[in-house]
Each structure stands twice: as structure tokens, then as C-alpha cells.
Structure 1
């Protein structure tokens, strides 16, 4: 367990700091003559804030829904979907396996949105932001569960791992493999977000790219946190705040560092 914790800290804290430091060094010596950039407006930032919050809640609902639906179709189980969580009555060994179907569902949604952005990206900025944030939340609400599930059997994915009778070494390997994938995906989101820049001059230098990512992604994600938390009340601390804050720290820090 301690190795997973150490690797997670390196991935979530040290990695973005080092990547960001490299970006700062690269930004030195920028050309004196630069193309003009557009005037900053609050509208895209607020638009992105609303879509970040909405997409988070939609992805979370999809996860909870697909935690419930397989159980509803299983003899002996009577699941209930309610605010910010789910529960079930009855007993069936498959219940533990189906604790992983929520994470699987939102991972598939994230992949579908990624394909959408790659093959037929929406023309409108709003729809593109929606697809980006749906993919972002899908990945960063599902993949960290693999890391946690590799060391915490009570976690939803951890229960599915135990049902599949995965050994400790296999779970450890899955947790370790998920960490670099999380970092790579976060870095990859910089490209479609930078493509939203109105003018080439807005992202002409590393400093300008970093500023644009801050305005279109990091600041909106930060502003969206109170909205997300408010929508998740009432509930325990881990249900209300830890998930959205952890997702911000895991995903958005890497995204900002990658700019």
C-alpha cells in the first residue's frame, strides 16, 4: 500500500510541479515581436465554469445509475438510487462485481467523448467544452478508483477486484499502470482546450498558453467547486467535497502544468 501512496503523491504533486518548472524554463527568451491577442472576456470563463459543474454532476449520475441498473436486473437484489449515492437490499455474489460497473460506464462515456472530439469535433465552442469536460470527468472520476481500489477493498472498484479474485500483485500493477495514464490524459486535454483560443496570438508563447488554460480551464474548475459541492449537499464529507476537490487536484493541476 505504501508504494501506491508514494507513487500517487509523485504523480499528483511532484509530477505537475516538475512539468510546470520545465514550462517556465521554456518560456524564457520568448520573441519580442508577437502576434496580437484577443481581449480577455469573462464570458468563456463563466461558460466553462457552468459546463464543468454540469458535466461533473452528469458523469456522477451516470456512474450511480450504472451501479444500480445491473443490480436491478439481478435476482435477489433490490437496489435504490437516491441523492448522491445508492444502496441495495438482498444478497447475491454478483453485487460486488457490479460495484465496478459505474466506473466502467463513465470510463466508456469518456472514451466516447474523446472519439467524438477526435473524429467529429463540434463546431460550437459550447459543445466542444461540453465534450471536453464530459471526457475529463469521465476519466478522472473512474481511473483514480482503480488506484484506490488496488489498496482499499471497500472501494467500489476494490469490491469488483475481489470478486474477480485478483491477487495483490495484480491489483498493485493495475494501480501503478493507472497513475501514468492519469497524467498522460490530463496533459492531453491541453490540446483541445488550446484549440478554443480565438486568435493564434492568444497561445503564441508558453506564457500565453498557460494564461489561456488558466482562464478557460483552471479558473472555471476552481469556480465550479462551490457549485458542485452545493449540488451534493447533504451528505458526508467524502461524498460532498473530497471527490470534486480530489478530481481538481489530480486532473486540473496536470492540465495547467502541461500548458
Structure 2
């Protein structure tokens, strides 16, 4: 079997089957452990809805950064005339460097994710809203970029795949890059659990593996699912891959691993953040960004 054939089978099995098996193991493992004495915690709908709004907002911000940094290098390249849209970018003309610059978007989002991760670790915001915003920026910055290395190792026509072709990466190098990206996908999911669990208001909410899995579902997995229609609304009209495939694939790849790993998460300190008082700020920010996407970016901005 060729390396491309191996990745074509292993990558979807990893993305879909891995979280399911890990989650089942977590459920079986927790059966023999003592349960929390208190009743099940109430659902904090302000926190859930804030997470939904911030998930959608940060997805679109990260996607904008990716497309902007796909366009900017081309704008300074002789022979290329790029245009930025709300769900994609395009260019006219020809220059061999165009293929290389198809990798700058993923690089930009990874750098932004690293900066937000430093913010989250070194100076975690006291506000639940800002801490959640930083967390989702890390999440989207990583999970919009890392799967591109896997896809690029299989299909050379995707953004990162074009950069790999320009750099003349061998099949072995592409396979190593894809496997490393898959390992990082799991590692980042595990690392994001601690700041996510720190959003709990009371220690009882995350006292046991089952409670921690339930909290992750309420504050991340469910809000991410509810945010998908909001994200898609910002990306229409367009082809299926431009509008829906990217946000849905990112949700499955990233949040399924976080949900599965929640059964094994180390308890975090609860009550560290100020509770969500109002949804006005994330709601207005999402509305404003949606208007920018449709009124300014949708017609296209020419960078030449």
C-alpha cells in the first residue's frame, strides 16, 4: 500500500473512530468509580449561549485571517491579482510562488493560535467571556490548519498540498507531517480541557469523570453544534465545500476528540472566572462581523 493509500484509510478512521473508541473506554472506565453525592448540576444557559456565539465569532475571525494571509503574499507577487471573498479567495495571473503562498494561511492561523494559547496560559482572563473567546481562538486556529496537512498529504490540490508540492516534499515527508498533525490534534484537544473546565462555577460541576464529560458537552460540544447554522449563514452563498464542509469537519475533528478526552481530564479549579452577565457583546460582535462578511467581503475586495 502506498503512503497516500495508507493515509486515505487511516485518517478518516482516526478522525471518526478514534474519539468513539476513546469515549467508550472512558464510559466503561468510569463505571467503577464513585459518583458525586450531590444532584446533577443545573445548565447555565447564559454560558452555553455565550459559548455558541463566541464559537461562531472566533471561527469566522480565524477563517478571515487565513484567507487574508493567503491573499497578502500574492498581492505583492508580480503577475498575481488576488481577490478576497467572505468564504474564499481567488487570483488571476500566474507565478510559481502562488503554490507556495497557498500554505501561508494555515501558518498564520497557527501563529495566532499560539499567541492566544500564551495569553490563556500566562494571563488567563478573569472574565468567562474573554477566557472562552481565547480558548475558541486557539481551537479554531489549530483545527482549521492542522487537518490541512493531512488532506494535503493525500490530495495535492488543497491549499497546504500545493505548498508541499512547491517545496517538493517526498511522500515520506508528507506522511510524517500528516501523522504529526494528527498527533497534535489529539494533544491540543487534551490541553484545551483544563481552561475549559476552569469555566465551571462550582467544584461539583466537574467533580467526577462523568461530571467533567457532561460539562464539556454543555459548554463546548453542544454550543459548537448550535453554532454551525450561524457559521454557515455567514458563508452563503457558495459551493458545499466553501459553505458547510469546513465548519462541519472542524467540529467533528476537534470537538469529538475533546468530548472523548473529557473522561480522562485532570480536574481544574472551579470558580476562577466571573460569570457571564450579558450576551450583548458577543451577539453584537457576531452581527457586526456577519454584516462585514456580506456587505464588504462577499462582493470581493481586489488586492491589486
TM range (shorter): over 0.9
Shift of 1:222: 0.4
Shift of 1:168: 1.6
Shift of 1:219: 0.4
Find runs of 4+ consecutive structure 1 residues off by over 6 angstroms. none
**Structure 1's 33 and 111: CA in aligned 2 closer, same or farther, altered over 3 A?**
closer
Query: Would you say 1:48 and 2:51 are equivalent positions?
Result: yes
**Does the CA-based 8 Å contact 2:36-2:207 persist in structure 1?**
no
TM-score under structure 2 normalisation?
0.82
**Does the CA-based 8 Å contact 1:11-1:183 persist in structure 2?**
no
Gap regions ≥5 residues in structure 1? none
**Does the CA-based 8 Å contact 2:35-2:208 persist in structure 1?**
no
Shift of 1:9: 2.4
- Paired residue for 1:88? 91
- What do the CA deviations read for 1:156-177 (whole angstroms, capped 9, x no partner)? 1111111111112211221122
Out of 67-76 and 54-63, give the one that drifted further: 67-76
**Does the CA-based 8 Å contact 1:106-1:139 persist in structure 2?**
yes
Query: Would you say 1:153 and 2:156 are equivalent positions?
Result: yes
**Does the CA-based 8 Å contact 1:37-1:200 persist in structure 2?**
no
- Paired residue for 2:72? 69
- What do the CA deviations read for 1:190-230 (whole angstroms, capped 9, x no partner)? 11111111011100011111111011000000000011111
**Pairs within 5 Å for 1:84-123:** 84-123=87-126
Query: Aligned partners of 2:105 and 2:190: how far apart in 1?
Result: 25
2:82 to 79, 84, 87: 79
**Pairs within 5 Å for 1:201-212:** 201-212=204-215
**Does the CA-based 8 Å contact 1:37-1:199 persist in structure 2?**
no
Shift of 1:35: 5.5
Query: Would you say 1:174 and 2:165 are equivalent positions?
Result: no
TM-score under structure 1 normalisation?
0.96
Query: Aligned partners of 1:55 and 1:123: how far apart in 2?
Result: 19
Gap regions ≥5 residues in structure 2? 263-304
**Does the CA-based 8 Å contact 1:113-1:135 persist in structure 2?**
yes
Query: Would you say 1:59 and 2:59 are equivalent positions?
Result: no
Query: Aligned partners of 2:173 and 2:181: how far apart in 1?
Result: 12
1:223 to 217, 222, 226: 226
- What do the CA deviations read for 1:224-258 (whole angstroms, capped 9, x no partner)? 00111111100000111100000011011111111
Query: Aligned partners of 1:124 and 1:203: how far apart in 2?
Result: 19
**Does the CA-based 8 Å contact 2:228-2:247 persist in structure 1?**
yes
**Structure 1's 200 and 162: CA in aligned 2 closer, same or farther, altered over 3 A?**
same
- Paired residue for 1:187? 190
How many residues align structurally? Answer: 259
